[in-house]
Amino acid sequence: MAAPSKATVVLKAVKKITLRFCPFESNAQSTREFLCMVGSEKVRATNMNCEVISMVKHDKSEPVVDITYVDGERLVMKGANLSSREMLSSFQSRCIAKDPQAKAAAKK
């Protein structure tokens, strides 16, 4: 499996992550994997103020990931037809774009 460029995700520019999915549906798997990747200890340690909230429903709704950034921007990903890798890469690219200084310092 090709891992993303950085193994860990940096959540410095993220305020809140909300995941909504229905576990009895088959299209919620990628959302669940995304939750694992984003909710891991390492990732949460990068920003202790960021909340990761998961809501489990049973109304055959589509799985949705709602990310609120520090500057007020919102990223909404509908995970029904997305793979977890795609979601993670798009999320990471936006995080890097938001927080280039910290990234450059970390890379150097």
Partner 1 sequence: MAATLCLRLLPQQGWLPLTQSVRHGSKAVTRHRKPVHILRQKLMAVTKYIPPTRLVPPGAYPSQTSRVQEESPFALILKKALQKLFQECRMLAVVQNSASNAEDMMMLKYRLHKHGIRVKFFPNKVVRSFLNDSVYSNMAPLFSGPTVMFVSEEPRVKEMLKTLRSSPQMTLLGACIDDTLLSVDGLVSYSKLPSVSVAQGQLVSGLTMLTSHTASLLQRHPAYLSALLQQHVKQLSPDAAGPAAAAEEEAT
Q: Which positions touch partner 1 (CB under 8 A)? A: 23-26, 29, 32-33, 35-36, 38-41, 43-44, 52, 54, 56-58
Dist. CA 85–CA 91, nearest whole Å: 10
Give least dist CB 36 to partner 1, A: 5
Residue 84 or 99 having the CB closest to partner 1: 84
Give least dist CB 11 to partner 1, A: 13
Whether 67 and 75 have beta carbons less than 8 Å apart is answered as yes
CA dihedral (82, 52, 62, 25) in degrees, to 10, reads 90
Dist. CA 105–CA 10, nearest whole Å: 13
Residue 24 or 73 having the CB closest to partner 1: 24
Give least dist CB 26 to partner 1, A: 6
Residue 13 or 30 having the CB closest to partner 1: 30
First to last CA, the chain: 27
